[in-house]
Amino acid sequence: MKQDWEYLTKMTGDRPFTIERVAIEGRELAIEGHFELPPLAQLRAEDQVFVAVFVKCHGSIKQMEKQFGISYPTVKGWLNRIGTQLGFVDVETCTDRAEVLDQLDRGDITVEEAIESLSLGEGNA
């Protein structure tokens, strides 16, 4: 059974749209005006699914690779693209931190090296 958002996404074809009426369920109350969607809701449907799976995977790029059958660089690229779309995310800082944590996870660097890298990054932000 399709969710309401799936019909809305198909109808709008991932084109931007605005909400002009908001009704409160179970109450005889509606507000009309021009309402902008929250940033996450403005993402394309496939990007929203990607973000939801990323959260479900607790931010594990390895799990994302398995879930979507894509490579590490593809996951990183997708995350960077979404981060840029959100605007309030400092993609460069997030990417640097994520890269340090990924290097630590792979065993490429030690815990001490990761702490040092993250500490240096904080001072530059």
Mean pLDDT in the chain?
82
Q: Is the pLDDT of residue 101 over 60?
A: yes
Q: Does some domain include residue 19? A: no
According to the model, what pLDDT value does residue 93 have?
Answer: 60
| Confidence at 120, pLDDT banded by 50, 70, 90 | low
- As for how many domains the chain has, the answer is 1
Q: Does some domain include residue 111? A: yes
Q: Does some domain include residue 47? A: yes
Domain that includes residue 111, residue range: 38-124
* CATH number, domain containing residue 95: 1.10.10
Helix (H), strand (E), coil (C) string for the chain:
CCCHHHHHHHHHCCCCCCEEEEEECCCCEEEEEEECCCHHHHCCHHHHHHHHHHHHCCCCHHHHHHHHCCCHHHHHHHHHHHHHHHCCCCHHHHHHHHHHHHHHHHCCCCHHHHHHHHHHHHHHC
Is the pTM for the entire model greater than 0.85? Answer: no
